[in-house]
């Protein structure tokens, strides 16, 4: 859109607008194809029941985290990079930080967690409890991200074990 504003020639503007429209149509077709692909996969229906979890997060998890449902809670959190890592040397102790892992999944979980702390009562209460204990907002949000990931991991695991159960 920025480049479109700079164009002066009407032919170039029309050509660029057609190109943008074509790319938008391609994106819609890809989103539809991903949604159709996920419809046939076991275990992905129950995941969307958690508020904050939408088609973007579901497709990101399906593409970037195929291990979802097959690992334990600590392992899946570590794989995504949501496990807190200690920074220590001798008697010195630094703050714990998250690092490594799959950044694409972390980014999608971040946006989902922002929605979840507003609309999902359990996660809102969890976030409020952490804030009441004096945790920083980002620290509490990362904890919500980890909790969401653990919940989604358990739902996917349970849905694959007993298909058809809500």
Which of 66, 50, 17, 54 is closest to 124 using CA atoms?
Answer: 50
Of all residues in the chain, what percent carry a pLDDT higher than 70? 93
Q: What is the pLDDT of residue 166?
A: 52
| pLDDT higher than 90, residue 146 | yes
Same domain, residue pair 34 and 77: no
Q: Based on the domain organization, do 31 and 79 belong to the same domain?
A: no
51 and 31, same domain (yes or no) = no
Instruction: Locate the DSSP E strands across 17-108.
Output: 88-89, 92-93
Check residues 101 and 121 and name the one with the higher pLDDT.
121
Q: Is 166 within a domain?
A: no
Q: Is residue 50 part of a domain?
A: yes
The tens digit of pLDDT for each residue in 59-116 reads: 999 989 999 989 999 999 999 999 877 776 777 677 777 778 899 999 999 999 999 9
> Both 33 and 95 in a single domain?
no
Q: What average pLDDT does the chain have?
A: 87
Q: Are residues 78 and 121 in the same domain?
A: yes
Q: Are 32 and 50 contained in the same domain?
A: no
Own/partner pairs for 88-95, CB < 8 Å, 24+ apart?
A: none
CA-to-CA dists, residue 17 to 4, 14, 21, 31, 40, angstroms: 8, 5, 6, 21, 36
What total number of domains does the chain contain?
2
The verdict on 36 and 52 lying in the same domain is: no
Q: What is the structure's pLDDT at 165?
A: 52
For position 123, what pLDDT does the model report? 95
Q: Name the maximum alpha-carbon separation found in the chain.
A: 69
One domain, residues 22 and 88: no
**49 and 122, same domain (yes or no):** yes
pLDDT of residue 143: 95
Task: Determine the Cα–Cα distance for residues 44 and 21; give it in Å rounded to an integer.
Answer: 31
Specify whether 48 is located in the same domain as 112.
yes
In a domain, 120, yes or no: yes
| Residue 82 belongs to domain spanning | 43-161
Q: How far apart are CA 126 and CA 78, in angstroms?
A: 21
């Amino acid at each position: 859109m920025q480049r479109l504003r700079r164009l002066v020639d009407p032919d170039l503007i029309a050509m660029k607008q057609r190109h943008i429209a074509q790319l938008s149509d391609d994106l819609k077709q890809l989103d539809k194809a991903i949604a159709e692909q996920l419809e046939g996969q076991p275990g992905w229906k129950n995941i969307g029941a958690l508020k904050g979890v939408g088609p973007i997060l579901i497709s990101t998890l399906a593409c970037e985290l195929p291990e979802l449902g097959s690992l334990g809670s600590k392992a899946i959190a570590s794989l995504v990079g949501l496990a807190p890592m200690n920074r220590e040397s001798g008697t010195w102790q630094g703050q714990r930080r998250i690092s490594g892992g799959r950044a694409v999944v972390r980014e999608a979980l971040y946006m989902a967690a922002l929605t979840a702390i507003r609309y999902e009562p359990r996660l809102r209460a969890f976030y409020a409890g952490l804030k009441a204990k004096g945790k920083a907002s980002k620290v509490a949000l990362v904890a919500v991200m980890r909790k969401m990931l653990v919940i989604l991991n358990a739902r996917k695991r349970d849905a694959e074990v007993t298909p058809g159960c809500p």
